[in-house]
Structure 1
């Protein structure tokens, strides 16, 4: 992974990088901080899911990096903030709901291990956040996408807790022929953790200067309050709400 070039002009507002494993609560935290401080919420995981969905729809082999790379020159992924969260547009088509299905989630994890796919995706993410005033969540924001981010939070939790949270998130909205079980979600969570932490390119790990936040025994309100404190400490006094 190439290091991003120095930003030629100092950012007027910070980049807030939230990293961590699946099910830790990154999306909820990022959406809250974006609303609280008036920043844009750039959900990078949704970008990988969108590309994975296109690969599924194109009947490509998710383990074939060459096939996947061939998609990228003809792929446009956009995030449009709304009060309910981001609309995810893939080549102009709203795929916000479809990319949350279990098959796309699993496909995104497989697709994301390919180094050249990650290089392409990181370039898209850097372009979206270079000016600051953004909250970006993912697995390598503070280590690969924006190692110069002003705020870095690594959000984690016990794998069983994360698996249960993810199952509760997807269970009410399942529209698949064979709904997933909690046991299946937990198994996929552990497999995904293994892929993310052990991949050769940008493995999941905290940045050296990241603030570690373990949400296993914390309520949502406690996580949000602590994170707000972290962000406020990095804002100019005039913006310290």
Structure 2
């Protein structure tokens, strides 16, 4: 660029990126789906991308600690998210794996796969492509800190692990089994699993789980679901104009 030349103006996104981060079981997916419906945005669940790759790693009998093999697998993988009313449809190499990637073994594998720096870098590139034009709600663990540090709205949704474990447990299994000794042991196991996952996510070298400096921290420990969703809507409206929302 010659001296005195005015640098080109890079237009701002027409619509904002809403970044929702937080630990496992905090309710990020529920919040993201609600905000996407409320404002007419696309709901891009980035955690589903990690779970899809983890499922493929399981299917290929890969060692979750072998970063090079996992990166090679990723580079030969196509993951697509198709937002639906009830959550994303997840396509892995053209095959719908939406139900399979929600199962416990895949969720646990995704937590182990996601610790690798090179794999996370590959995922971040994919996620930026999906959200580059704005008008999206993206939830995960490093959206506001790494994927879109310039996101117009950043929410860090948290809750005590005991509360997150209880909520997750209540969402699974028939109601009549909730009060047995076996049920109590299962709920306690879920809480332990969440605490272990929190430790992995918060202490990993690459993109550890933490709030962005400009994120609004929303602790839902003592809140009802309706209260959380109302609070989230207010945070969005406090950070962007009405024109950006329509």
| Residue pair 1:13, 1:235 contacting (<8 A) in 2 also | no
Partner in structure 2 of residue 171 of structure 1: 173
Where does 1:78-227 land on structure 2 (aligned, <5 Å)?
78-171=80-173, 181-227=186-232
Partner in structure 2 of residue 175 of structure 1: none
Per the normalisation by structure 2, the TM-score is 0.89
Cα distance in 1, alignment partners of residues 186 and 161 from structure 2: 16
| Residue pair 2:16, 2:245 contacting (<8 A) in 1 also | no
SS at match of 2:14: coil
Residue deviations 1:204-231 (CA, integer Å, cap 9, x gap): 0000000000000000000000110111
| Residue pair 1:31, 1:41 contacting (<8 A) in 2 also | yes
Residue deviations 1:42-75 (CA, integer Å, cap 9, x gap): 0000110000000001100001101101101211
Alignment counterpart, residue 72 of structure 1, candidates 71, 74, 92: 74
Gaps (5+ residues) in structure 1? 1-6, 173-178
1:239 is displaced (CA, Å) by 5.1
Gaps (5+ residues) in structure 2? 1-8, 175-182
Cα distance in 1, alignment partners of residues 207 and 167 from structure 2: 25
Cα distance in 2, alignment partners of residues 222 and 34 from structure 1: 17
Residue deviations 1:99-136 (CA, integer Å, cap 9, x gap): 11111111000000000000000000000001100000
Paired residues, what number? 229
1:84 is displaced (CA, Å) by 1.6
Residue deviations 1:172-230 (CA, integer Å, cap 9, x gap): 5xxxxxx9922322221111000000000000000000000000000000000011011
| Residue pair 2:52, 2:97 contacting (<8 A) in 1 also | yes
RMSD: 1.7
Structure 1 runs of 4+ with >3 Å offset:
237-241
Alignment counterpart, residue 234 of structure 1, candidates 231, 239, 245: 239
| Residue pair 2:15, 2:244 contacting (<8 A) in 1 also | no
Closer/same/farther in 2, CA of residues 240 and 111 from structure 1, 3 Å limit: closer
| Residue pair 1:143, 1:207 contacting (<8 A) in 2 also | yes
Cα distance in 1, alignment partners of residues 17 and 245 from structure 2: 15
Per the normalisation by structure 1, the TM-score is 0.91
SS at match of 1:152: strand
SS at match of 2:52: helix
Worse-superposed segment, 129-138 or 181-190:
181-190
SS at match of 1:137: strand
| Residue pair 1:114, 1:201 contacting (<8 A) in 2 also | yes
Cα distance in 1, alignment partners of residues 17 and 156 from structure 2: 14
Where does 1:45-56 land on structure 2 (aligned, <5 Å)?
45-56=47-58
SS at match of 1:171: coil
